[in-house]
Amino acid sequence: MTLDIRPARGGFLRPFGCGWFIREFLLGNGPEGSRAVDPQQGAPQADINFEYKEALARATARERTERIISRLVVGGKDVTEEQAEDIYERELKKLSRKFTHMRYHSFLMYFGVLKRLGWVEITNETEPSAIQENYPPAPERTYYRLTKKGIKAGDESWSNPLFTLYPEIGPNHMKPQV
């Protein structure tokens, strides 16, 4: 029996969820090869989004590389570590970052849900934004960190923060199990 990895309706499966990544990133764990941040200092939304899309690109390239190498090995060819690394680098370069992440506006909306849940909070840390060079009144980059409530929230809640915020809509949007 084969399992189709594409859902019957909706988008494609991701190697990991956005909520999981944000939590792990702000905890300072450096998930999926992203940089580690100080959990007390946090990070700006733009940096979190960048690290998320790059981590998704690396994970997707790694999965594609594994499939290619698997086909080569099944075909009777030996694959060296250097060849495997070359295949990975090639696949990483081929990936469009638009394919591997949600758009920035969608990310901001998602992050807004985390704010309303009280799972993230603004820190006292700010820094000038790039746009301020040309437009000084533009806002500074604001840093966010996890709250105690966000740290205590379970995996199920983090897997779908929108359903956690609005539990009444969750069952209406779930596909019935057959």
Which strand ranges, in their side-by-side order, compose the sheet holding 141-146? 43-44, 141-146, 120-127
What is the distance between the alpha carbons of residues 112 and 153, in angstroms, rounded to a whole number? 16
Q: Is the dihedral of CA 106, 123, 154, 162 positive or negative?
A: negative
Q: Which residues pair with 144 in a beta bridge?
A: 43, 122
DSSP code for 36: P
Structure-token match 């999965």, residue found = 63
For the chain, 178 residues long, give each residue's pLDDT as a single digit of tens.
Answer: 555 544 454 445 577 889 999 999 999 999 999 999 999 999 999 999 999 999 988 998 999 999 999 999 999 999 999 999 999 999 999 987 776 567 889 999 999 999 999 999 999 999 999 898 999 999 999 999 999 999 999 998 998 898 899 888 766 666 666 5
Structure-token match 């940089």, residue found = 35
Amino acid at 29: N
69, 27 Cβ separation under 8 angstroms:
no
120, 142 Cβ separation under 8 angstroms:
no
